[in-house]
Chains A and B, each alone.
Chain A
Amino acid sequence: MGSFAGLFSAQAIADEVKKQGKKCILLWLCGAPSQFETWDPKPGTETAGPFAAIPTAMPGVHVSELMPQCASILDKLAIIRSMKTEPSEHFQGIDVLTRGDAPRPPFTRPILGSVVAQQLGQLDSPVPQFVLLDPCPEGNEFKAFKGGNWAGWLGAEYGPVRAGGEYSIPNILRPESIDEADHADREALRRFLSRKFENDQSSAAAAGYNAAFARVKGLMSCAPLFDIERLPADDRYRYGPGAFAQHALLARHLIENGSTFVMVANGMPWDNHVFQHEMHQMLVPELDNVIYQLVNDLSERGMLDDTLVIAMGEFGRTPWLNDARGRDHYAKAWSLAMAGGGIRGGVVHGATDERGFDVTTDPVDNRELFATIFTTLGIDPAAEYDLGDLPTFHRVEGDAKPISTLLNAG
């Protein structure tokens, strides 16, 4: 164990990790944040809400006053203000914005993290390639969604390792009552018997089960990586005390040490149908700081060019308020932000009308978004999934094209 930590702190390894290709951190803002209190403020209109808009590092571009730190580094961020998607219910929205497309039952499209881990990940690495950090087991639809099949037709080995809660992974350490040799020995027998059953039965359930077991040993060797107490106190202070912030820091740490895709979630805090302004006044400043710290840290470490950071939810919020002073679901015109990983900074793509009711220029749907994400990570969006005699699936359907203004030339 001790040697592991030493190994992974070595600069040589970090350099190697950097060379291995692109990475991605998805700040999953589940519940759906308001574009008006973040990236697309509408000062002076009846939809604006109580918060002002402030200037940013990009002349002429304003964001909500709740995001002063992001405003100062807007030259490193790209904002899409013209997201226009279909589902405006959480479950379907989460499905489409994490998988890239609506389902085609009975086939389950793999989630973004599974695709990226499969395409860019180091499968022989003990470090989990796709990690979900989510301390909150609750959250209605997201809870139901988490119980579903994330890796889809790629197979369970591309599913996420889930950590969170106490910032750790339960049962990650070998019990003292059994020594290392016996632990490995009995696992070898288990594997032999279980794989035999899988093969004899052509069992898909057993295949997924065995794939999960195959990751145990590597994951156990990574236990120190998930120990947030080992991270520098200064870093923990900078990111802030909240679970979301601490997990964002842990995401950085995991990416630095060989993970390929880390998704940071926190239940569904953004679904503010009630007291939207008060809730966002608590949530947005934390997000503002997290994005700021993350982008700066990656930049300072020379990792921003290879690490894509995405901050988005499953849709936006209504321009108007409901009777409970909340904003309801709105998928017709909303915003998200990206940085790094080959995405051009300082770009604001698309626009909405003066009250934010609809997109006026360059609408972006989920397919174009995913084509952009895949392209900037060096993954072919047009690739076909080879599923034997099943219907043809593409990584991104409909021949959707990436948004060229967001992509760095070359």
Chain B
Amino acid sequence: MPSPSRSVSSLILRLAVLVAVTTVSLACGRQAAATEGSPQTTAVQPSDNRGTPPASNAELAAAIDRLLEEGWAAADVQAADAISDEVFLRRVFLDLAGRIPSTAEREDFLSDSREDRRLLLIDRLLASDDYAKRMADLFDVLLMGRGSGRTMRERHEHGWRQWLQTQFHDNRPWNQMAEAMLLARPATAADNAATWFLYERNNDHQQIAEAVAPAFFGFRIECAQCHDSMTAAEVEQAHYWGLVAFFNRGKNEMTDQGPRIVESAVGGFSEFADIEGTSSPNLLKFLDVDVVDEARPAADEEQQESDELYQAAFRDGEPRQPVFSRRERFVEDVLRDHPRLAQAMANRLWAVLMGRGLVHPYDEMDSAHTIEHPEILQLLTDDFRQHGYDIRRTLRAIASSQAYQRSSRKPAGVDDPATFAWYLERPLTAEQFTSSLRVALYGAGEMPRDLTSAVRQAMPDVLPDESVTTIAEPLFLSNGPDLQALLQEVSEGDHPLAAMAALPSTHEAATALFLATLCRMPTAEEVEAVATFLSQSPQSAEISSNDAPLVAKQRLVHAAWAIVTSAEFRFNH
């Protein structure tokens, strides 16, 4: 059934909700607006740099801890205990390298007696190729969303995926990445694929606006298509159409150099109507930035194309560009140094490591959403700006804080995750899950069977607002052909799982399986349970009587399935 169900909306009601700041309490966002009983609304107000943030990593981490602890003391919250090296190891590998550690990496770390071994590990992981892949996996979804199989292939073919990975590998400053994506005029071949951010949106300028606002400014703007935001006064309908206008002269063109967004020097003027029917021109306006001036033709006047309106391309072989470029104005006048650019990224990086934004959800940083621990957001934002939008630096500070290194066991009597009084357990992303399977059961290198796209469908979430398992996921894990086939394959040949089958006893095989998958020593009870399982006669496997292995391979495959589908493997905790 065709449906023009784009989120057009009109608001007729005025509600008698007793909230001081707003008289109308409806938002288009996922999270409801403040109502009676919810916490006091605090406007998200990025400030210019106030005070001098601590310079060293240790000071930054300590400041995070001090600010959190002050909050806990005030609210009488008892935070969770600190974690052991073993727990830290798996956690930080998953968060920074996107996979569990191998047994060799585990042994290395646990035998390290240096005082600062945790920080050293953080640094090693941040410098690794795994880190670049993990961040590219994550930001691919955060910036572009999950796509169909074809979309994902195109992102690879056009170099987008590799571009992301290279940026994180080189720790390119976030503001430079943002400018490369939004200006989309690659000054060097290295930035060729940055154009894909706009190009994939396929000339849908509203879609571009709706992606730019959360990706770089940390808030969603969809509702402002039809009216000023009902909950966040600073998000105006004029900003929605202004943001659209900055990009609406662009047109996709596949050139010899690669995908480009050719910009026209004319057109792109329209009026938008609010819900009372009043029309306004779509000026080049976004947030608190002054309107970008531009000659506007009269309503009945048609602009003429003319070569004089264009200048030579910035580089040979590139499309010509307009003398007055809206996109360029957006990048230089709006995006560059906008305080929200740093604030939104600081909040998002916090969410990546802490499981939830200081403003939650992390992409709804408008005045309808409370900032928890505003001083921490301020601190991280200021530090991020002052240190050249250095992503690694921010992640390093958060990961080395005590706050990050607390138990995931929620302390009794504390219910609000916004206290960050315990490590918020979170499901592995599809990429973390498959990479961890590889480490545990296959070893180094690419697996012959790529589970990623099947797992992505079953586990699409990245930084979910809350962890909810639907029945589809256990059905996929229990009955989907992919995982079963993979386990079967890695039980043959020169892989860890195959090696376990050659161990002299079921007890040793059970222990090895725990170490490889859950990165910890099993308890006696667990060894017994798995060993018993392994020693039971296989029901369906054909074992040749000549060289029957000590541990029946088929039972080992089933035991491996049971462990990698257990909650302990499925979550980071």
Contacts and interface: CB of A to CB of B under 8 A. Distances in A.
A87, A173, A283: which has the most chain B beta carbons within 10 Å? A87
B468 A208 contact: yes
Interface in A356-410: 389-391
Interface SS of chain B: helix, strand, loop or mixed?
A: loop
B75 to A, nearest CB: 14
Contact of A328 (B9, B562, B570): B9
A208 B410 CA distance: 15
A60 interface: no
A296 to B, nearest CB: 24
A242 B2 CA distance: 12
Interface string B552-573: 0010001101110111101101
B10 interface: yes
A323 to B, nearest CB: 7
Contact of A171 (B28, B479, B571): B479
B1 A206 contact: no
A201 B415 contact: no
A233 interface: no
B409 A201 contact: yes
Interface string A160-179: 01100000011111110111
A189 B273 contact: no
Given A170-B476, A205-B426, A205-B427, A283 B1 contact: yes
Interface in A255-281: 266-269, 271-275, 279
A159 B567 contact: no
A210 B571 CA distance: 12
Nearest to A193: B566
B310 interface: no
Given A102-B32, A213-B474, A328-B9, A186 B559 contact: yes
A380 to B, nearest CB: 23
Contact of A208 (B230, B273, B469, B565): B469
Interface residues of A, number: 95
A149 to B, nearest CB: 5
Given A104-B38, A272-B4, A190 B566 contact: yes
Interface string A75-97: 00000000000111111100100
Contacts of B30: 91, 144-145, 148
Given A103-B32, A105-B38, A172-B475, A269 B26 contact: no
Contacts of B561: 186, 190
Given A86-B26, A175-B479, A203 B12 contact: no
A8 interface: no
Interface in A282-330: 282-283, 318, 322-323, 326, 328-330
B5 A179 contact: no
B471 A215 contact: yes
A31 B474 CA distance: 31
A106 interface: yes
A179 B475 contact: no
A219 interface: yes
B473 A212 contact: yes
Nearest to B29: A91
A192 to B, nearest CB: 6
A123 interface: no
Given A86-B15, A106-B416, A197-B568, A208 B26 contact: no
A72 interface: no
Contacts of B472: 162, 169-171
B56 interface: no
Contacts of A144: 30
A238 interface: no
Contact of B408 (A104, A189, A203): A203
Contacts of B473: 212
Interface in A46-100: 86-92, 95
B7 interface: yes
Contacts of A329: 9-12
Contacts of A148: 30, 465-466, 468
Contact of B13 (A102, A140, A331): A331
Nearest to B541: A182
Contact of B539 (A92, A150, A181, A322): A181
Nearest to B540: A179
Interface in B291-319: none
A177 B26 contact: no
Given A88-B13, A169-B475, A178-B540, A273 B468 contact: no
A150 B536 CA distance: 40
Given A172-B475, A268-B3, A206 B468 contact: no
A177 B484 contact: yes
Nearest to A242: B1
Contact of B26 (A87, A159, A268): A87
Which 3 A-B pairs give the minimum distances between C-beta atoms?
A328-B10, A206-B567, A190-B562
Given A171-B476, A178-B484, A274-B4, 14 more contacts: A89-B28, A90-B9, A91-B27, A140-B7, A171-B475, A171-B478, A175-B484, A177-B481, A185-B533, A212-B474, A216-B475, A279-B3, A323-B277, A326-B8
Interface of B: 1-13, 15, 17, 25-33, 35, 37-38, 223, 230, 273, 275, 277, 408-410, 413, 415-418, 425-427, 461, 464-476, 478-481, 484-485, 488, 526, 529-530, 533, 536, 538-540, 554, 558-559, 561-563, 565-568, 570-571, 573
28 contacts: A91-B29, A104-B35, A144-B30, A148-B30, A150-B468, A156-B468, A171-B472, A172-B479, A173-B479, A175-B479, A175-B480, A182-B554, A194-B565, A197-B566, A197-B568, A203-B567, A203-B571, A204-B467, A205-B427, A206-B568, A209-B469, A209-B567, A269-B1, A279-B2, A279-B3, A283-B1, A326-B4, A391-B37
